[in-house]
């Protein structure tokens, strides 16, 4: 697991230059803080699993999840 895997997604999955990066990270942080499995993406409206939920799965599912704590750079 990446050291920053629960907080910061890989740049290839969410670039810091994304115009709504801070909003997306805030939604993810809120989900982590409240122990929720994920959040509604403020851009697409789709459900996105939190890194904590994905970590609880035990391994990577290879679906390219935004907050995958197992993904390598």
Residues 6 or more apart whose Cβ sits within 8 Å of residue 2: 10, 69, 70, 71, 72, 73
Task: Return the pLDDT at 72.
Answer: 81
pLDDT at 13 over 70: yes
The domain in which residue 30 lies consists of 1-10+18-73
* Number of domain units in the chain: 1
pTM for this entry: 0.90
**Chain segment 17-47, per-residue pLDDT in tens:** 999 999 999 999 999 999 999 999 999 999 9
Nearest to 37 by CA among 25, 50, 46, 27: 50
Task: Return the pLDDT at 9.
Answer: 93
């Amino acid at each position: 697991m990446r050291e920053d895997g629960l907080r910061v997604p890989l740049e290839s999955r969410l670039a810091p230059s994304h115009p709504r990066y801070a909003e997306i990270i805030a939604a993810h942080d809120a989900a982590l803080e409240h122990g929720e499995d994920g959040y509604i993406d403020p851009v697409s409206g789709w459900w996105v699993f939190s890194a904590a939920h994905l970590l609880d799965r035990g391994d990577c599912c290879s679906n390219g999840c935004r907050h995958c704590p197992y993904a390598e750079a």
